[in-house]
Amino acid sequence: MLDRRKSFRSRVYYGARITFNERRSTMDCLIRNVSEQGVRVELDNADVISDEVDLVINRKGLAYRARMIWRRNGQAGFAFRNNRHVPTPMTLDWALQLRAVERANKTLLQKLGQLSDRF
């Protein structure tokens, strides 16, 4: 089999998170190897992930926009869309917490509106 890689791949064992569906869906994964152009990850169900994702490596404080190249047997290969490391502006956990607070705020505002209509 012809290896078409353009750069050396390092074996690693990094936990990461894939976000997709406009950051509404997430899936934890394990990065098994990495190069300047992409990664190979292990994950539970690659079939539900869209072809364009954000890949966040918290341990390194990095985030990438990536495109899925292949998927099979609980693994997937991604090519980085941006050619340089981008510091994570906001961790995914913070983004998820912010979204939860925004939903709670919306619910509270609706209840407040209902209560003020009564009086």
Q: Which tens digits make up the pLDDT trace of 18-60?
A: 999 888 889 999 999 999 899 999 999 888 898 999 998 888 8
> Which of the listed ranges 39-43, 45-49, 61-65, 94-98 does the model predict with the highest average pLDDT?
39-43
pTM beyond 0.85: no
Tokens at residue 86, please? Answer: 């981008």
**Average pLDDT of the chain to the nearest whole number:** 85
Domain 1-88 has CATH 2.40.10.220: yes
Q: What is the rounded CA–CA span in Å between residue 116 and residue 1? A: 70
Residue 32: Cβ-neighbour burial (10 angstroms; 0-12, 13-18, 19+): middle
Q: What is the rounded CA–CA span in Å between residue 40 and residue 9? A: 10
Tokens at residue 51, please? Answer: 């072809």
Residue 16: Cβ-neighbour burial (10 angstroms; 0-12, 13-18, 19+): buried
